Amino acid sequence: MNSSTISGLSTDHSPVRGATIKSDRELEAMREAGRIVALAVRQMVRNLEPGVTTAELNHIGEGEIRKLGARPAFLGLYGFPATVCISLNEEIVHGIPGERIVEDGDLVSFDCGAIVNGMYSDHAVTAIAGKETKKKRALVETTKVSLDRAIQAAQPRNRVGDVSNAVESYVRPKGYELVREYVGHGIGHSLHEPPQVPNYGMAGRGHILMPGMVIAIEPMVNAGGWQTEVLKDKWTVVTADRSLSAHFEHTVAITEYGPEVLTAL
Ligand code: MG
Ligand code: MG
């Protein structure tokens, strides 16, 4: 995995190796890490309004994670300087919180992880601050529904391509594009484990999803083209054409009975 990114960078196209099967005890810790990050993200979304700074939102998220007894997963990871990636409008992922003031109508993506007993969770939500437009709401809803569809495809003995294709086949006919350079990933003892989980691909292809595997599924949907750029801060990823982008992510355990979303409340 690339060493300087919090969403997996899609560079490895070799067959998947090393996807781990989690023990019940490991899964239990991941459930708790997932619950805590979900509560932290909910708290930030509740406090999202025009006039708030992204640093204040990060502070709220970090406070919640620590209060609930977990550690922030992103803080210091690969050198990232905050607990939450907060990405606005044309920013896709890895936005650094700071003194920037959220404006009315901003599309705000929160991406955050927590660690409990050495086990990781990863979760992202996009919300609109203040006044919505139909266009922004449609982009957000499409991204959210594509994640729901991908989760439903994460059935035991399905393949990664079934998950990828569930996203792509829903999103692209609506005229949106999917980010290609950054992908979902296995998760557990570290934030990024095999396999990679792209948001595009062919059903029936790729690694088999076995009970005990845990994957982070994270569609990043652009209103314009799929191409991305990294800003001068070396972190913030934006759409190359500066079109709007939305991002949702859940950490999902594959079980004999189907997918179990660890980052839902
Ligand atoms: Mg992730
Ligand atoms: Mg994430």
Q: Render pLDDT for 20-30 as a digit per residue (tens, 0 to 9).
A: 899 999 999 99
Q: How many angstroms separate the CA atoms of 156 and 90, rounded?
A: 35
Give the ligand whose atoms come closest to the C-alpha of residue 73: 2
Q: How many CB atoms lie within 10 A of CB 79?
A: 9
Fold observed for domain 24-256 = Creatine Amidinohydrolase (3.90.230)
User: Which residues are paired to 167 by β-bridges?
Assistant: none
Distance of CA 218 to the CA centre of its chain: 4
Q: How many angstroms separate the CA atoms of 109 and 92, rounded?
A: 8
Q: How many A from CA of 112 to the centre of ligand 2?
A: 6
Q: How many A from CA of 247 to the centre of ligand 2?
A: 9
pLDDT value of residue 26: 98
Determine whether 164 is exposed, middle or buried from the number of CB atoms within 10 Å of its CB (0-12, 13-18, 19+): buried
Which pair of tokens denotes residue 62? 């970090």
- Token look-up 């979303």 returns 261
Positions in the chain whose pLDDT score sits under 50:
1-4, 11-15
Q: How many A from CA of 99 to the centre of ligand 1?
A: 25
Amino acid at 174: K
Q: How many A from CA of 102 to the centre of ligand 1?
A: 24
Q: How many A from CA of 8 to the centre of ligand 2?
A: 9
Q: How many A from CA of 139 to the centre of ligand 1?
A: 20
Provide the whole-model pTM.
0.94
Q: How many A from CA of 7 to the centre of ligand 2?
A: 6
- Strands annotated E in the chain: 8-9, 71-72, 84-88, 91-93, 107-116, 119-128, 177-178, 182-186, 193-197, 214-217, 220-222, 228-230, 237-239, 245-247, 250-255, 258-261
Give the ligand whose atoms come closest to the C-alpha of residue 186: 1
Q: How many angstroms separate the CA atoms of 219 and 197, rounded?
A: 10
Q: How many A from CA of 73 to the centre of ligand 2?
A: 10
| Domain range list for the chain | 24-256
Q: How many A from CA of 34 to the centre of ligand 1?
A: 12
Q: How many A from CA of 42 to the centre of ligand 1?
A: 17
Give the ligand whose atoms come closest to the C-alpha of residue 187: 1
pLDDT value of residue 19: 83
- Helices 24-46 & 54-67 angle (0-180, nearest 10): 140
